[in-house]
Amino acid sequence: MKYTTIFMLLWMCHSLCGQTFDANSKVTGTLKTTEGKYEGLVDINLKLNQVLWSRDNSSKIFGARQIKEAKLQFPDGSQKIYVGHELGNDHYLFEALAYGKTIVLFKEGLTKDQVTGALYPPFFTIEKNKLKPLERKKDILEVFGGDSKWMHQFIKNRNLDLASKSDIEKAFDYYNGTFEATNPTSP
Which tens digit of pLDDT belongs to each residue from 25-67? Answer: 679 999 999 999 999 999 999 999 999 999 999 999 999 999 9
CA distance 130 to 91: 12
Q: Is pLDDT at 184 greater than 60 in this prediction?
A: no
Which tens digit of pLDDT belongs to each residue from 129-162? Answer: 999 999 999 999 999 988 999 999 999 999 999 9
CA distance 44 to 47: 9
Task: Let me know if 175 is exposed, middle or buried by CB neighbors in 10 A (0-12, 13-18, 19+).
Answer: buried
Banded pLDDT at 13 (limits 50, 70, 90): very low
Give the SS3 label for residue 184: coil
Banded pLDDT at 24 (limits 50, 70, 90): low
CA distance 86 to 142: 22
CB distance 38 to 60 below 8 Å: yes
Give the SS3 label for residue 48: coil
Going 21 to 129 to 176 to 166, the CA torsion angle's sign is positive
Question: pTM for the whole thing?
Answer: 0.82
Predicted pLDDT of residue 79? 92
Which tens digit of pLDDT belongs to each residue from 74-111? Answer: 999 999 999 999 998 899 999 999 988 889 999 999 99
Task: Let me know if 170 is exposed, middle or buried by CB neighbors in 10 A (0-12, 13-18, 19+).
Answer: middle
Predicted pLDDT of residue 134? 96
20-to-51, 52, 67 alpha-carbon distances in Å:
11, 10, 18
Lowest mean pLDDT, pick from 16-25, 65-74, 151-160: 16-25
Predicted pLDDT of residue 183? 52
Predicted pLDDT of residue 6? 52
Conformation bin of residue 21: beta by default, left when phi > 0, alpha when psi is -120 to 50 = beta
